[in-house]
């Protein structure tokens, strides 16, 4: 899950990566279009299940969540987690298989 504040229409690309040293392995990648909510400045809930490839983790590895916006008129069009609980946002959460 990942809540967000949306200021202007935006296409957001998400990447979930496994990083070992300088090497990145893409676990999953996807794109979602967001539009501002018409009547409030509350965070928009966003939850999705994405298939991803299995990767072997070892001590020192990192899980990287990367996102970028495109096709928008505002550089702050998409704000992850918004203002937190002040805007009804939740901390990003990932559930990975064991």
Q: Kindly report the backbone phi and psi dihedral angles of residue 14, in degrees, each rounded to the nearest multiple of 5, phi listed first.
A: -110, 140
Query: Are the C-beta atoms of residues 89 and 5 closer than 8 Å to each other?
Result: yes
Express each pLDDT in 51-65 by its tens digit.
Answer: 888 888 999 999 999
Residue carrying structure tokens 């279009």: 33
The predicted model scores a pTM of 0.81
- Domain spans of the chain, in order of start: 4-49+58-83
Closest to 30 in 3D by CA, of 42, 47, 43, 45: 47
Contact present, 16 and 2 (Cβ < 8 Å): no
DSSP reduced 3-state for 87: helix
61-97 residue pLDDT tens:
999 999 888 888 877 787 777 666 667 777 777 887 7
DSSP letter (8 states) at residue 44:
B
């Amino acid at each position: 899950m990942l809540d967000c504040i949306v200021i202007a229409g935006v296409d957001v690309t998400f990447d979930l990566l496994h990083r070992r040293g300088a090497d990145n392995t893409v676990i999953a990648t996807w794109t979602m279009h967001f539009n501002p909510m018409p009547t409030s400045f509350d965070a928009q809930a966003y939850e999705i299940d994405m298939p991803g490839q299995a990767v072997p983790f070892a001590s020192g590895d990192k899980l990287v969540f990367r996102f970028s916006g495109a096709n928008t008129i505002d550089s702050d069009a998409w704000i992850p987690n918004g203002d937190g609980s002040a805007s009804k946002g939740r901390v990003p959460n990932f559930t990975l298989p064991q």
